[in-house]
A and B are shown apart, each in its own frame.
Chain A
Amino acid sequence: MERFVELENVQKHFDTKKGRFVALQDINLTIRQGEVVSLIGHSGCGKSTVLNIIAGLLEPSDGIALCNGREIDGPGPERAVVFQNHSLLPWLSCYGNILLAVERVFGAKEDKAQLAARTDAALALVGLSHARDKHPHEISGGMKQRVGIARALAMEPKVLLMDEPFGALDALTRANLQDEMVKIVDATGSTVVMVTHDVDEAVLLSDRIVMMTNGPAATVGEILEVQLPRPRNRLALAGDADYHRYRGAVLDFLYQKHRKEAA
Protein backbone atom coordinates (compact mmCIF):
# COMPACT_ATOMS: atom_id res chain seq x y z
CA MET A 1 0.00 0.00 0.00
CA GLU A 2 2.35 2.63 -1.24
CA ARG A 3 -0.03 5.47 -2.05
CA PHE A 4 -2.40 5.70 0.83
CA VAL A 5 -4.13 9.07 0.72
CA GLU A 6 -4.48 10.65 -2.68
CA LEU A 7 -5.84 14.05 -3.61
CA GLU A 8 -6.20 14.64 -7.35
CA ASN A 9 -6.96 18.10 -8.70
CA VAL A 10 -8.98 18.88 -5.64
CA GLN A 11 -10.76 22.18 -5.69
CA LYS A 12 -12.88 23.64 -2.94
CA HIS A 13 -15.04 26.71 -3.05
CA PHE A 14 -17.56 28.19 -0.67
CA ASP A 15 -20.60 30.11 -1.88
CA THR A 16 -20.90 33.22 0.23
CA LYS A 17 -23.12 36.29 0.05
CA LYS A 18 -20.36 38.13 -1.81
CA GLY A 19 -20.16 35.39 -4.39
CA ARG A 20 -18.01 32.33 -4.83
CA PHE A 21 -14.86 32.09 -2.73
CA VAL A 22 -12.33 29.64 -4.11
CA ALA A 23 -10.36 28.36 -1.14
CA LEU A 24 -8.30 25.62 -2.78
CA GLN A 25 -7.32 24.89 -6.32
CA ASP A 26 -5.38 22.11 -8.09
CA ILE A 27 -4.39 20.31 -4.92
CA ASN A 28 -2.42 17.22 -5.85
CA LEU A 29 -0.99 15.30 -2.96
CA THR A 30 -0.09 11.69 -2.31
CA ILE A 31 0.63 10.40 1.15
CA ARG A 32 2.32 7.06 1.68
CA GLN A 33 1.58 4.68 4.47
CA GLY A 34 3.61 5.29 7.61
CA GLU A 35 4.54 8.76 6.48
CA VAL A 36 4.27 11.92 8.59
CA VAL A 37 3.26 14.85 6.45
CA SER A 38 2.87 18.44 7.62
CA LEU A 39 0.78 21.05 5.89
CA ILE A 40 2.24 24.45 6.56
CA GLY A 41 1.25 27.91 5.38
CA HIS A 42 0.03 31.26 6.54
CA SER A 43 -3.32 31.46 8.24
CA GLY A 44 -6.19 31.45 5.80
CA CYS A 45 -4.32 29.41 3.20
CA GLY A 46 -6.76 26.53 3.42
CA LYS A 47 -4.51 23.99 5.10
CA SER A 48 -7.27 23.06 7.54
CA THR A 49 -9.62 22.72 4.59
CA VAL A 50 -7.29 20.14 3.05
CA LEU A 51 -7.25 18.23 6.32
CA ASN A 52 -11.03 18.38 6.62
CA ILE A 53 -11.37 17.02 3.09
CA ILE A 54 -9.18 14.05 4.00
CA ALA A 55 -11.17 13.66 7.22
CA GLY A 56 -14.37 13.70 5.21
CA LEU A 57 -15.80 16.58 7.21
CA LEU A 58 -15.80 18.63 3.99
CA GLU A 59 -16.42 17.42 0.47
CA PRO A 60 -14.21 18.64 -2.37
CA SER A 61 -16.10 20.79 -4.86
CA ASP A 62 -14.15 19.20 -7.68
CA GLY A 63 -11.48 16.55 -8.06
CA ILE A 64 -11.03 13.26 -6.23
CA ALA A 65 -10.05 12.44 -2.67
CA LEU A 66 -9.08 8.80 -2.10
CA CYS A 67 -8.10 6.91 0.99
CA ASN A 68 -6.87 3.35 0.72
CA GLY A 69 -7.95 3.30 -2.93
CA ARG A 70 -11.53 4.27 -2.18
CA GLU A 71 -13.24 7.59 -2.53
CA ILE A 72 -13.60 9.39 0.80
CA ASP A 73 -17.28 9.44 1.61
CA GLY A 74 -17.87 11.23 4.89
CA PRO A 75 -15.85 11.00 8.06
CA GLY A 76 -14.96 7.71 9.67
CA PRO A 77 -12.97 6.29 12.55
CA GLU A 78 -10.23 4.96 10.24
CA ARG A 79 -9.30 8.63 9.76
CA ALA A 80 -9.17 9.85 13.34
CA VAL A 81 -8.98 13.59 13.91
CA VAL A 82 -7.21 15.44 16.72
CA PHE A 83 -9.02 18.76 16.83
CA GLN A 84 -7.26 22.02 17.58
CA ASN A 85 -9.36 22.70 20.67
CA HIS A 86 -9.33 19.10 21.91
CA SER A 87 -13.13 18.71 21.59
CA LEU A 88 -13.47 16.48 24.61
CA LEU A 89 -16.99 16.00 25.88
CA PRO A 90 -17.08 17.89 29.20
CA TRP A 91 -19.55 15.50 30.85
CA LEU A 92 -17.34 12.45 30.35
CA SER A 93 -14.15 11.67 32.26
CA CYS A 94 -10.88 11.29 30.36
CA TYR A 95 -11.50 7.56 30.46
CA GLY A 96 -15.08 8.01 29.28
CA ASN A 97 -14.05 10.20 26.38
CA ILE A 98 -11.59 7.62 25.09
CA LEU A 99 -13.90 4.70 25.82
CA LEU A 100 -16.59 6.30 23.67
CA ALA A 101 -14.25 6.07 20.67
CA VAL A 102 -12.90 2.63 21.60
CA GLU A 103 -16.41 1.21 21.99
CA ARG A 104 -17.44 2.54 18.62
CA VAL A 105 -14.46 1.05 16.80
CA PHE A 106 -13.92 -2.25 18.64
CA GLY A 107 -17.21 -2.73 20.52
CA ALA A 108 -18.59 -5.21 18.01
CA LYS A 109 -15.66 -7.61 18.27
CA GLU A 110 -14.30 -7.33 21.78
CA ASP A 111 -15.66 -7.76 25.28
CA LYS A 112 -15.79 -5.13 28.00
CA ALA A 113 -12.48 -6.10 29.59
CA GLN A 114 -10.64 -5.79 26.27
CA LEU A 115 -12.19 -2.40 25.61
CA ALA A 116 -11.23 -1.22 29.08
CA ALA A 117 -7.67 -2.47 28.53
CA ARG A 118 -7.42 -0.57 25.24
CA THR A 119 -8.69 2.61 26.91
CA ASP A 120 -6.24 2.32 29.77
CA ALA A 121 -3.41 1.60 27.35
CA ALA A 122 -4.22 4.74 25.41
CA LEU A 123 -4.18 6.79 28.61
CA ALA A 124 -0.84 5.25 29.57
CA LEU A 125 0.58 6.02 26.11
CA VAL A 126 0.12 9.75 26.69
CA GLY A 127 1.14 9.47 30.36
CA LEU A 128 -2.25 10.28 31.82
CA SER A 129 -3.14 7.15 33.77
CA HIS A 130 -3.32 9.27 36.91
CA ALA A 131 -6.00 11.55 35.39
CA ARG A 132 -8.16 8.63 34.30
CA ASP A 133 -11.28 9.67 36.21
CA LYS A 134 -10.83 13.43 35.96
CA HIS A 135 -13.19 15.51 33.87
CA PRO A 136 -11.86 17.85 31.17
CA HIS A 137 -12.46 21.02 33.19
CA GLU A 138 -10.27 19.62 35.98
CA ILE A 139 -7.11 19.22 33.86
CA SER A 140 -4.77 21.60 32.05
CA GLY A 141 -4.91 22.51 28.38
CA GLY A 142 -1.91 20.33 27.57
CA MET A 143 -3.48 17.37 29.31
CA LYS A 144 -6.74 17.85 27.45
CA GLN A 145 -4.88 17.84 24.17
CA ARG A 146 -3.09 14.64 25.22
CA VAL A 147 -6.44 13.02 25.94
CA GLY A 148 -7.57 14.12 22.48
CA ILE A 149 -4.48 12.47 20.98
CA ALA A 150 -5.03 9.34 23.08
CA ARG A 151 -8.63 9.18 21.90
CA ALA A 152 -7.52 9.38 18.28
CA LEU A 153 -4.71 6.84 18.71
CA ALA A 154 -6.95 4.40 20.59
CA MET A 155 -9.06 4.07 17.47
CA GLU A 156 -6.03 2.59 15.70
CA PRO A 157 -6.72 4.77 12.69
CA LYS A 158 -5.19 4.13 9.32
CA VAL A 159 -4.30 7.78 9.24
CA LEU A 160 -4.12 10.25 12.09
CA LEU A 161 -5.24 13.76 11.17
CA MET A 162 -4.13 16.60 13.41
CA ASP A 163 -5.40 20.14 13.00
CA GLU A 164 -2.87 22.42 14.70
CA PRO A 165 -2.88 20.02 17.62
CA PHE A 166 -0.54 22.07 19.78
CA GLY A 167 -1.53 25.52 18.54
CA ALA A 168 -3.49 26.51 21.63
CA LEU A 169 -0.76 25.54 24.10
CA ASP A 170 2.07 27.50 25.66
CA ALA A 171 5.56 27.06 24.20
CA LEU A 172 6.93 24.69 26.87
CA THR A 173 3.90 22.42 26.93
CA ARG A 174 3.91 22.42 23.15
CA ALA A 175 7.55 21.31 23.05
CA ASN A 176 6.87 18.52 25.55
CA LEU A 177 3.93 17.24 23.55
CA GLN A 178 5.89 17.45 20.31
CA ASP A 179 8.59 15.29 21.89
CA GLU A 180 5.97 12.81 23.02
CA MET A 181 4.45 12.83 19.57
CA VAL A 182 7.89 12.05 18.08
CA LYS A 183 8.13 9.01 20.35
CA ILE A 184 4.59 7.83 19.64
CA VAL A 185 5.02 8.20 15.90
CA ASP A 186 8.33 6.31 16.03
CA ALA A 187 6.78 3.57 18.16
CA THR A 188 3.53 3.08 16.27
CA GLY A 189 4.59 3.87 12.71
CA SER A 190 1.37 5.81 12.23
CA THR A 191 0.48 7.65 9.09
CA VAL A 192 0.02 11.24 10.16
CA VAL A 193 -1.20 14.36 8.40
CA MET A 194 -0.68 17.43 10.50
CA VAL A 195 -1.65 21.04 9.95
CA THR A 196 0.73 23.49 11.60
CA HIS A 197 2.08 27.00 11.38
CA ASP A 198 5.08 26.16 13.53
CA VAL A 199 8.24 25.67 11.43
CA ASP A 200 10.16 23.79 14.14
CA GLU A 201 7.25 21.48 14.75
CA ALA A 202 7.00 20.70 11.05
CA VAL A 203 10.72 19.91 10.67
CA LEU A 204 10.93 17.94 13.92
CA LEU A 205 7.99 15.67 13.21
CA SER A 206 7.65 15.36 9.47
CA ASP A 207 8.97 13.16 6.69
CA ARG A 208 7.64 15.67 4.22
CA ILE A 209 6.51 19.25 4.57
CA VAL A 210 3.84 20.44 2.18
CA MET A 211 4.11 24.21 1.88
CA MET A 212 1.01 25.96 0.70
CA THR A 213 0.66 29.25 -1.14
CA ASN A 214 -1.52 32.01 0.20
CA GLY A 215 -5.25 31.94 -0.46
CA PRO A 216 -7.60 32.55 -2.07
CA ALA A 217 -7.22 29.69 -4.54
CA ALA A 218 -4.34 28.32 -2.51
CA THR A 219 -2.43 25.35 -3.78
CA VAL A 220 0.61 23.24 -2.97
CA GLY A 221 3.65 25.46 -3.44
CA GLU A 222 6.58 23.20 -2.68
CA ILE A 223 7.12 19.88 -0.97
CA LEU A 224 10.20 19.45 1.18
CA GLU A 225 11.56 15.99 2.02
CA VAL A 226 12.98 15.98 5.54
CA GLN A 227 15.66 13.29 5.59
CA LEU A 228 16.68 13.51 9.19
CA PRO A 229 17.30 10.13 10.83
CA ARG A 230 14.82 8.83 13.40
CA PRO A 231 14.56 8.73 16.34
CA ARG A 232 14.84 12.49 16.37
CA ASN A 233 15.87 14.49 19.36
CA ARG A 234 15.15 18.15 19.79
CA LEU A 235 18.40 18.88 21.64
CA ALA A 236 20.64 16.94 19.26
CA LEU A 237 19.00 18.59 16.27
CA ALA A 238 19.48 22.07 17.69
CA GLY A 239 23.09 22.02 16.45
CA ASP A 240 22.46 19.92 13.34
CA ALA A 241 23.30 21.61 10.05
CA ASP A 242 20.71 19.66 8.05
CA TYR A 243 18.01 20.61 10.52
CA HIS A 244 18.83 24.25 10.06
CA ARG A 245 18.95 23.86 6.30
CA TYR A 246 15.40 22.39 6.29
CA ARG A 247 14.22 25.02 8.68
CA GLY A 248 15.74 27.71 6.49
CA ALA A 249 14.03 26.31 3.41
CA VAL A 250 10.60 26.46 5.02
CA LEU A 251 11.21 29.94 6.39
CA ASP A 252 12.40 31.06 2.97
CA PHE A 253 9.22 29.77 1.39
CA LEU A 254 6.95 31.37 3.97
CA TYR A 255 8.68 34.72 4.39
CA GLN A 256 10.43 35.33 1.05
CA LYS A 257 8.47 33.69 -1.71
CA HIS A 258 5.00 33.80 -0.22
CA ARG A 259 5.13 36.58 2.23
CA LYS A 260 1.75 37.39 3.71
CA GLU A 261 0.97 41.08 4.02
CA ALA A 262 0.10 41.96 7.58
CA ALA A 263 -3.67 42.01 7.86
Chain B
Amino acid sequence: MSAAETFSPTLAAGQPATAARSARPRKRKTLLAAAPPSLQPLVRFIRWLVPPLLGLIAFVLLWSLVSQLSRGSLPGPVSTWASATELFADPFYQNGPNDQGIGWNILMSLGRVGVGFGLAAVVGIPLGFMIGRFGFLARMTAPVISLLRPVSPLAWLPIGLLVFKAASPASIWVIFISSIWPMILNTAAGVRAVPQDYLNVARVLRLSEWKVFSVILLPAVLPHMLTGVRLAIGTAWLVIVAAEMLTGGVGLGFWVWDEWNNLNVEHILIAIFVVGLVGLALEQALVWLAKKASFGQGE
Protein backbone atom coordinates (compact mmCIF):
# COMPACT_ATOMS: atom_id res chain seq x y z
CA MET B 1 0.00 0.00 0.00
CA SER B 2 2.69 2.44 1.05
CA ALA B 3 4.74 1.58 -2.02
CA ALA B 4 1.77 2.24 -4.28
CA GLU B 5 1.25 5.56 -2.59
CA THR B 6 4.80 6.69 -3.16
CA PHE B 7 4.59 5.73 -6.81
CA SER B 8 1.33 7.53 -7.51
CA PRO B 9 0.85 10.31 -5.00
CA THR B 10 -2.22 11.70 -6.84
CA LEU B 11 -4.19 8.58 -5.93
CA ALA B 12 -6.96 9.10 -3.44
CA ALA B 13 -6.08 7.66 -0.07
CA GLY B 14 -8.17 4.71 1.06
CA GLN B 15 -8.33 3.04 -2.33
CA PRO B 16 -7.46 -0.67 -2.12
CA ALA B 17 -3.85 -1.53 -2.85
CA THR B 18 -4.68 -3.80 -5.78
CA ALA B 19 -6.52 -1.03 -7.55
CA ALA B 20 -3.63 1.30 -6.95
CA ARG B 21 -1.16 -1.16 -8.43
CA SER B 22 -3.18 -1.79 -11.56
CA ALA B 23 -4.00 1.87 -11.98
CA ARG B 24 -0.42 3.02 -11.98
CA PRO B 25 0.79 1.68 -15.34
CA ARG B 26 -2.48 2.70 -17.01
CA LYS B 27 -2.16 6.17 -15.65
CA ARG B 28 1.37 6.53 -17.03
CA LYS B 29 0.28 5.40 -20.46
CA THR B 30 -2.67 7.82 -20.87
CA LEU B 31 -0.83 10.33 -23.03
CA LEU B 32 0.27 7.61 -25.40
CA ALA B 33 -2.93 5.58 -25.22
CA ALA B 34 -5.13 8.58 -25.96
CA ALA B 35 -3.58 8.99 -29.39
CA PRO B 36 -4.54 6.58 -32.18
CA PRO B 37 -1.81 4.04 -32.92
CA SER B 38 -0.78 5.73 -36.13
CA LEU B 39 0.02 8.94 -34.25
CA GLN B 40 1.99 7.30 -31.45
CA PRO B 41 5.44 7.86 -32.99
CA LEU B 42 4.51 11.53 -33.32
CA VAL B 43 3.49 11.70 -29.66
CA ARG B 44 6.76 10.10 -28.64
CA PHE B 45 8.69 12.56 -30.81
CA ILE B 46 6.92 15.54 -29.28
CA ARG B 47 7.67 14.21 -25.79
CA TRP B 48 11.30 13.87 -26.72
CA LEU B 49 11.38 17.35 -28.24
CA VAL B 50 9.66 19.38 -25.53
CA PRO B 51 12.40 19.66 -22.84
CA PRO B 52 15.27 20.75 -25.15
CA LEU B 53 12.90 23.09 -26.97
CA LEU B 54 11.86 24.69 -23.67
CA GLY B 55 15.52 25.12 -22.76
CA LEU B 56 16.29 26.88 -26.02
CA ILE B 57 13.25 29.15 -25.72
CA ALA B 58 14.28 30.07 -22.16
CA PHE B 59 17.78 30.85 -23.44
CA VAL B 60 16.49 33.13 -26.20
CA LEU B 61 14.14 34.91 -23.78
CA LEU B 62 16.97 35.50 -21.33
CA TRP B 63 19.11 36.81 -24.17
CA SER B 64 16.48 39.32 -25.31
CA LEU B 65 15.99 40.41 -21.70
CA VAL B 66 19.73 41.08 -21.27
CA SER B 67 19.74 42.83 -24.63
CA GLN B 68 16.84 45.06 -23.53
CA LEU B 69 18.58 45.87 -20.25
CA SER B 70 21.79 46.82 -22.07
CA ARG B 71 19.78 49.29 -24.13
CA GLY B 72 20.89 47.93 -27.46
CA SER B 73 24.65 47.64 -26.88
CA LEU B 74 24.15 43.85 -26.97
CA PRO B 75 22.09 42.92 -30.04
CA GLY B 76 18.98 40.86 -29.40
CA PRO B 77 17.99 37.60 -31.08
CA VAL B 78 15.90 39.27 -33.77
CA SER B 79 18.57 41.59 -35.12
CA THR B 80 21.17 38.80 -34.84
CA TRP B 81 18.92 36.50 -36.84
CA ALA B 82 18.40 39.15 -39.51
CA SER B 83 22.13 39.69 -39.72
CA ALA B 84 22.73 35.94 -39.95
CA THR B 85 20.31 35.42 -42.83
CA GLU B 86 22.09 38.19 -44.69
CA LEU B 87 25.49 36.71 -43.91
CA PHE B 88 24.61 33.16 -44.91
CA ALA B 89 22.87 34.31 -48.09
CA ASP B 90 26.32 34.64 -49.68
CA PRO B 91 28.77 32.61 -47.60
CA PHE B 92 31.52 32.34 -50.21
CA TYR B 93 32.15 35.88 -51.45
CA GLN B 94 35.70 37.18 -51.68
CA ASN B 95 36.51 40.88 -51.44
CA GLY B 96 40.24 40.72 -50.88
CA PRO B 97 42.18 38.93 -48.13
CA ASN B 98 40.52 40.66 -45.16
CA ASP B 99 36.92 40.47 -46.31
CA GLN B 100 35.73 36.99 -47.18
CA GLY B 101 32.48 35.08 -46.68
CA ILE B 102 31.67 33.19 -43.47
CA GLY B 103 31.97 29.92 -45.42
CA TRP B 104 35.64 30.60 -46.18
CA ASN B 105 36.31 31.48 -42.57
CA ILE B 106 34.77 28.22 -41.37
CA LEU B 107 36.61 26.17 -43.98
CA MET B 108 39.95 27.81 -43.21
CA SER B 109 39.58 27.14 -39.49
CA LEU B 110 38.47 23.57 -40.13
CA GLY B 111 41.39 23.09 -42.51
CA ARG B 112 43.93 24.27 -39.94
CA VAL B 113 42.39 22.08 -37.27
CA GLY B 114 42.37 19.17 -39.72
CA VAL B 115 46.05 19.51 -40.59
CA GLY B 116 47.28 20.17 -37.06
CA PHE B 117 45.06 17.48 -35.66
CA GLY B 118 45.99 14.99 -38.38
CA LEU B 119 49.70 15.53 -37.77
CA ALA B 120 49.11 15.09 -34.04
CA ALA B 121 47.34 11.77 -34.74
CA VAL B 122 50.13 10.59 -37.03
CA VAL B 123 52.73 11.30 -34.34
CA GLY B 124 50.71 10.83 -31.17
CA ILE B 125 48.94 7.53 -31.79
CA PRO B 126 52.04 5.47 -32.71
CA LEU B 127 53.90 7.13 -29.85
CA GLY B 128 51.03 6.24 -27.53
CA PHE B 129 51.20 2.61 -28.69
CA MET B 130 54.91 2.42 -27.98
CA ILE B 131 54.59 4.11 -24.60
CA GLY B 132 51.82 1.70 -23.68
CA ARG B 133 53.73 -1.37 -24.83
CA PHE B 134 57.19 -0.57 -23.42
CA GLY B 135 57.40 0.41 -19.77
CA PHE B 136 60.88 1.83 -20.22
CA LEU B 137 59.66 4.30 -22.83
CA ALA B 138 56.72 5.20 -20.60
CA ARG B 139 59.01 6.08 -17.70
CA MET B 140 61.33 7.91 -20.06
CA THR B 141 58.65 10.16 -21.54
CA ALA B 142 56.60 10.64 -18.35
CA PRO B 143 58.50 13.67 -16.95
CA VAL B 144 58.52 15.52 -20.28
CA ILE B 145 54.82 14.88 -20.93
CA SER B 146 53.81 15.81 -17.37
CA LEU B 147 55.79 19.04 -17.69
CA LEU B 148 54.50 20.13 -21.09
CA ARG B 149 50.89 18.96 -20.94
CA PRO B 150 49.53 21.58 -18.52
CA VAL B 151 50.99 24.45 -20.59
CA SER B 152 48.34 26.58 -22.28
CA PRO B 153 48.42 25.83 -25.99
CA LEU B 154 48.68 29.55 -26.82
CA ALA B 155 52.00 29.74 -25.02
CA TRP B 156 53.39 27.74 -27.93
CA LEU B 157 52.32 30.33 -30.47
CA PRO B 158 55.43 32.53 -30.25
CA ILE B 159 57.60 29.45 -30.75
CA GLY B 160 55.56 28.57 -33.82
CA LEU B 161 55.84 32.09 -35.21
CA LEU B 162 59.56 32.08 -34.53
CA VAL B 163 60.17 28.74 -36.25
CA PHE B 164 57.72 28.98 -39.16
CA LYS B 165 57.78 32.75 -39.66
CA ALA B 166 54.18 32.68 -40.88
CA ALA B 167 50.78 32.86 -39.20
CA SER B 168 49.05 29.85 -40.66
CA PRO B 169 51.70 27.20 -39.88
CA ALA B 170 52.03 28.73 -36.42
CA SER B 171 48.36 28.19 -35.66
CA ILE B 172 48.58 24.67 -37.09
CA TRP B 173 51.51 24.10 -34.76
CA VAL B 174 49.43 25.26 -31.80
CA ILE B 175 46.66 22.84 -32.77
CA PHE B 176 49.22 20.07 -33.11
CA ILE B 177 50.73 20.62 -29.70
CA SER B 178 47.38 21.01 -27.95
CA SER B 179 45.79 17.90 -29.44
CA ILE B 180 48.74 15.52 -29.21
CA TRP B 181 48.64 14.96 -25.42
CA PRO B 182 45.19 13.36 -25.12
CA MET B 183 45.99 11.15 -28.10
CA ILE B 184 49.28 9.92 -26.62
CA LEU B 185 47.93 9.43 -23.13
CA ASN B 186 44.66 7.73 -24.06
CA THR B 187 46.28 5.43 -26.59
CA ALA B 188 48.93 4.44 -24.06
CA ALA B 189 46.28 3.83 -21.40
CA GLY B 190 44.31 1.75 -23.92
CA VAL B 191 47.31 -0.43 -24.70
CA ARG B 192 47.92 -0.98 -21.01
CA ALA B 193 44.27 -1.93 -20.52
CA VAL B 194 44.25 -4.69 -23.18
CA PRO B 195 43.05 -7.75 -21.25
CA GLN B 196 45.81 -10.24 -20.49
CA ASP B 197 43.48 -12.98 -21.77
CA TYR B 198 43.64 -11.61 -25.31
CA LEU B 199 47.41 -11.48 -25.12
CA ASN B 200 47.46 -15.05 -23.78
CA VAL B 201 45.43 -16.11 -26.82
CA ALA B 202 48.06 -14.43 -28.98
CA ARG B 203 50.82 -16.23 -27.08
CA VAL B 204 49.19 -19.64 -27.36
CA LEU B 205 48.66 -19.10 -31.08
CA ARG B 206 52.18 -17.67 -31.40
CA LEU B 207 50.82 -14.88 -33.57
CA SER B 208 53.36 -12.70 -35.35
CA GLU B 209 53.97 -9.19 -33.98
CA TRP B 210 52.03 -7.76 -36.92
CA LYS B 211 49.07 -10.06 -36.26
CA VAL B 212 49.13 -9.22 -32.56
CA PHE B 213 49.00 -5.56 -33.50
CA SER B 214 46.34 -5.77 -36.20
CA VAL B 215 44.06 -8.44 -34.74
CA ILE B 216 44.36 -7.79 -31.01
CA LEU B 217 46.02 -4.52 -29.99
CA LEU B 218 44.50 -2.19 -32.55
CA PRO B 219 40.84 -3.22 -32.15
CA ALA B 220 41.22 -3.45 -28.37
CA VAL B 221 42.78 -0.01 -28.14
CA LEU B 222 40.50 1.65 -30.71
CA PRO B 223 37.80 2.79 -28.24
CA HIS B 224 40.41 4.37 -25.93
CA MET B 225 42.15 5.89 -28.91
CA LEU B 226 38.92 7.44 -30.14
CA THR B 227 38.29 8.89 -26.69
CA GLY B 228 41.67 10.57 -27.00
CA VAL B 229 40.80 11.78 -30.46
CA ARG B 230 37.51 13.18 -29.22
CA LEU B 231 39.15 15.05 -26.36
CA ALA B 232 41.78 16.30 -28.77
CA ILE B 233 39.34 17.62 -31.30
CA GLY B 234 37.45 19.42 -28.55
CA THR B 235 40.63 21.15 -27.40
CA ALA B 236 41.76 21.85 -30.94
CA TRP B 237 38.51 23.55 -31.79
CA LEU B 238 38.67 25.61 -28.60
CA VAL B 239 42.21 26.67 -29.34
CA ILE B 240 41.89 27.52 -33.03
CA VAL B 241 39.63 30.51 -32.40
CA ALA B 242 42.07 31.99 -29.91
CA ALA B 243 45.08 31.27 -32.09
CA GLU B 244 43.50 32.87 -35.14
CA MET B 245 42.58 35.96 -33.11
CA LEU B 246 46.27 36.43 -32.46
CA THR B 247 47.61 35.53 -35.89
CA GLY B 248 45.01 37.06 -38.23
CA GLY B 249 44.41 36.04 -41.83
CA VAL B 250 41.26 34.11 -42.67
CA GLY B 251 39.43 32.00 -40.12
CA LEU B 252 36.68 32.18 -37.53
CA GLY B 253 38.94 33.54 -34.81
CA PHE B 254 40.27 36.27 -37.04
CA TRP B 255 36.75 37.06 -38.15
CA VAL B 256 35.60 37.49 -34.55
CA TRP B 257 38.45 39.91 -33.88
CA ASP B 258 37.88 41.75 -37.14
CA GLU B 259 34.19 42.23 -36.38
CA TRP B 260 35.10 43.45 -32.91
CA ASN B 261 37.25 46.10 -34.55
CA ASN B 262 34.30 46.95 -36.79
CA LEU B 263 32.05 46.91 -33.71
CA ASN B 264 29.68 44.53 -35.49
CA VAL B 265 28.49 42.69 -32.41
CA GLU B 266 25.83 40.72 -34.29
CA HIS B 267 28.57 39.01 -36.24
CA ILE B 268 30.46 38.16 -33.08
CA LEU B 269 27.36 36.49 -31.70
CA ILE B 270 26.89 34.61 -34.97
CA ALA B 271 30.52 33.50 -34.79
CA ILE B 272 29.92 32.16 -31.29
CA PHE B 273 26.98 30.11 -32.53
CA VAL B 274 28.92 28.85 -35.55
CA VAL B 275 31.88 27.81 -33.39
CA GLY B 276 29.48 26.05 -31.05
CA LEU B 277 27.64 24.23 -33.82
CA VAL B 278 30.78 23.09 -35.62
CA GLY B 279 32.27 21.90 -32.33
CA LEU B 280 29.09 20.00 -31.54
CA ALA B 281 29.09 18.38 -34.98
CA LEU B 282 32.73 17.28 -34.65
CA GLU B 283 32.08 15.85 -31.19
CA GLN B 284 28.94 13.99 -32.28
CA ALA B 285 30.69 12.54 -35.32
CA LEU B 286 33.40 11.10 -33.07
CA VAL B 287 30.92 9.79 -30.54
CA TRP B 288 29.19 7.97 -33.36
CA LEU B 289 32.50 6.60 -34.61
CA ALA B 290 33.49 5.46 -31.11
CA LYS B 291 30.21 3.59 -30.75
CA LYS B 292 30.85 1.85 -34.07
CA ALA B 293 34.31 0.82 -32.92
CA SER B 294 33.41 -0.52 -29.49
CA PHE B 295 32.33 -3.99 -30.78
CA GLY B 296 29.92 -4.45 -27.93
CA GLN B 297 32.71 -4.23 -25.37
CA GLY B 298 31.58 -3.22 -21.95
CA GLU B 299 28.05 -4.47 -22.47
Contacts and interface: CB of A to CB of B under 8 A. Distances in A.
B2 interface: no
Contact of B205 (A104, A136, A137): A104
A91 B295 contact: yes
A87 B220 CA distance: 13
Interface stretch (B21-29, B40-48, B87-95, B194-202): B194-202
A220 B64 CA distance: 83
B198 A81 contact: no
Interface in B244-299: 295-297, 299
Given A89-B215, A100-B215, A138 B200 contact: no
Nearest to A92: B215
Interface in A74-106: 74-77, 79-81, 83, 85, 87, 89-92, 100-101, 104-105
A81 B200 contact: yes
Contacts of A105: 205
A56 B203 CA distance: 9
Contacts of A237: none
Nearest to A151: B201
B198 A89 contact: yes
Contacts of A101: 205
Per DSSP, are chain B's interface residues mostly helix, strand or loop, or mixed?
helix
A90 B296 contact: yes
Given A85-B197, A89-B216, A57 B297 contact: no
Given A89-B201, A89-B215, A76 B296 contact: no
A74 B198 contact: no
A258 interface: no
B205 A90 contact: no
Contacts of B205: 77, 100-101, 104-105, 155
Contacts of A55: 204
Contacts of B295: 90-91, 135, 137
Nearest to A80: B204
B221 to A, nearest CB: 11
Given A89-B201, A89-B215, A75 B296 contact: no
A158 B257 CA distance: 73
Nearest to A88: B201
A92 B201 CA distance: 13
B219 interface: yes
B297 A90 contact: yes
B219 A91 contact: yes
Contact of A76 (B201, B206, B297): B206
A138 B206 contact: no
B35 interface: no
Q: Kindly state the interface size class of chain B when it binds its partner.
A: 10 to 19
A104 B299 contact: no
Contacts of A137: 295-297, 299
- Secondary structure at the A interface, as helix, strand, loop or mixed, is loop
B215 A76 contact: no
B60 interface: no
Interface in B195-235: 195, 197-198, 200-201, 203-207, 211, 215-216, 219
B159 to A, nearest CB: 41
A105 B296 CA distance: 28
Contacts of A81: 200, 204
A180 B195 CA distance: 29
B296 A138 contact: yes
Contacts of B206: 74-77, 104
Choose among B197, B204, B216, B297 the residue with the greatest number of A CB atoms under 10 Å from its CB.
B204
B203 A83 contact: no
Nearest to B293: A91
A89 B219 contact: yes
Interface string A52-86: 00011100000000000000001111011101010
Contacts of A79: 204
Interface in A105-140: 105, 135-138
A92 B202 CA distance: 14
B258 to A, nearest CB: 48
A74 B206 CA distance: 9
A105 B219 CA distance: 22
Contacts of B297: 90, 137
Contacts of A91: 219, 295
Contacts of A74: 203, 206
A136 B296 CA distance: 8
B166 to A, nearest CB: 43
Contacts of B216: 89
5 shortest interchain CB distances as A-B pairs: A137-B296, A87-B197, A91-B295, A91-B219, A75-B203
15 contacts: A56-B203, A57-B200, A57-B204, A75-B206, A76-B204, A80-B204, A83-B197, A87-B197, A89-B215, A90-B295, A91-B295, A104-B207, A105-B205, A138-B296, A155-B205
